[in-house]
Amino acid sequence: MTVVEARARLDSLWRRGREFLGCEYAILGGAMTWVSEHNLVAAISNGGGFGVLACGSMSPDLLAQEIDRLAALTDKPFGVNLIIMHPELDALADVCLERKVSHVVLAGGLPKKGIIEKLKQGGARVICFAPTLKLANRLVGLGVDALVIEGMEAGGHIGSVSTSVLAQEILPHIREVPVFVAGGIGRGEAIVSYLEMGAAGCQLGTLFVCAKESVAHLSFKQAFIRANARDAVASVQLDPRFPVIPVRALANQSSREFTELQREVIDRYNKDEVGLKDAQLEIEHFWAGALRRAVIDGDVENGSMMAGQSVGMVKQEQPTAEIIRELVDQAVQVLDSREGS
């Protein structure tokens, strides 16, 4: 296969994703709170990918300002990630529709049919996360336009199943809508493998943290560049009575203190020194503000260093467009290397 043929093959493999997103390459930027703000999102879209703005806990007014700043930096399509548990979800959806955001990603749980219908009727395409085949089928039945399946190799809040297993479990059975694969993807060869399994494209987050356009603190970026895959570990739950949503992050002083806090709180609860609800809240509130401390303030020991296992493939700070170009070149190269194809 020649390089020209390899590029044509790649175009064919992710055509469905490209057409759905409206971009040159079916590479979504994972929505990372404090990192995926207007500068990085615009850079991903301008680089040929599809940037996704992380709303996180923003108010409707702040989201409106952020979308306006983003729209001033790019004329390319982009999406907005909304957290389903946000108390002002409807108002945030209104902001997206008023500003004609083309794609809205609903994350953090199973969305209600009403919010999906509202967004679709307002002209937005709706993307949701599907952690199981059963939920994937249910979401398709609710009318979502596309799905993301994300494995436990990803950074931030994670499930319990690997990307490769999720892909085998879900991709062969969901044909009605495009499905994008995420979690631990750091090279073009991996993108090709999932495309050939039936994915419409892939979502990457960790690889973009050290982009030049990323506003992450230099200390945060340097920690990523120094890290290897085994440094990105999932948080540990010590007692089922005190549930901890697994979060993958670089191990640091704060993550060690979190484990010690759990031991201390559980011990106080067992001695009847604190009630169950108060004990659970104390554990749950440990990480409040921790992500901002790390990403924006650069406190890499006392903040939350959310990172996927692909962090070991982050070797330097480089322009977003260059990161995307390298991914595409790697994908083309692996296709071009196939004899007799």
Same domain, 111 and 133: yes
Looking at the fold, whether 179 and 234 belong to one and the same domain comes out as no
Query: How many residues are recorded in the chain?
Result: 341
Q: Are residues 154 and 192 in the same domain?
A: yes
Burial readout 246-264 (b: 16 or more C-beta within 10 A, e: otherwise): ebbbbebebbeebeeebee
Handedness of CA 329, 334, 339, 341 (dihedral sign): negative
Check whether residue 301 and residue 320 sit in a common domain.
no
Q: Identify whether 139 is part of a domain.
A: yes
Confidence of residue 281 (pLDDT cuts 50, 70, 90): confident
In a domain, 64, yes or no: yes
What pLDDT is recorded for position 224?
98
Nearest-10 Cα torsion for 56, 140, 116, 33: 10
Tens-digit pLDDT profile for residues 66-95: 999 999 999 999 999 999 999 999 999 999
User: pLDDT at residue 341 above 70?
Assistant: no
**Span between the terminal Cα atoms of the chain, in Å:** 6
Place of tokens 């207007």: 38
Number of domains composing the chain: 2
128 Cβ neighbours under 8 A, 6+ residues apart: 105, 106, 107, 111, 116, 139, 144, 146, 147, 148
Measure the CA–CA gap between 336 and 341, rounded to whole angstroms.
8
Full residue range of the structural domain in which residue 262 is found: 228-306
List 52's β-bridge partners, or say none: 79
Q: Is residue 8 in a domain?
A: yes
Query: In the predicted model, is pLDDT for residue 284 greater than 90?
Result: no
180 and 53 in one domain? yes
Question: Is pLDDT at 244 greater than 90 in this prediction?
Answer: no
Report which DSSP code applies to 102. S
Q: Are residues 193 and 235 in the same domain?
A: no
pTM higher than 0.85: yes
DSSP state of 235: P
- Judge if 295 and 325 occupy the same domain: no
DSSP 311: G
Do 134 and 264 belong to one domain? no
Torsional class of 297: left (φ above 0), alpha (ψ -120 to 50), beta (otherwise): alpha
What single-letter DSSP state applies at residue 317?
A: -
With respect to residue 222, please indicate whether it lies within any of the assigned structural domains.
no
Q: Are residues 51 and 67 in the same domain?
A: yes
- 67 part of a folded domain: yes
What is the per-residue pLDDT across 34-45, written as a single tens digit (0 to 9) for each? Answer: 999 999 999 999
At 154-172, the pLDDT tens digits run: 999 999 999 999 999 999 9
CA distance 272 to 267: 9
226 Cβ contact list (under 8 Å, min separation 6): none
Same domain, 102 and 143: yes
Q: Are residues 64 and 200 in the same domain?
A: yes
Inside any domain, residue 223: no
Q: Residue 220 domain-assigned?
A: no
For the domain that residue 17 is a member of, what is the CATH number?
3.20.20.70
Query: Residue 221: inside a domain, yes or no?
Result: no
The radius of gyration of the chain's CA atoms, rounded to the nearest angstrom, is 20
- My answer on whether 33 and 134 are in the same domain is yes
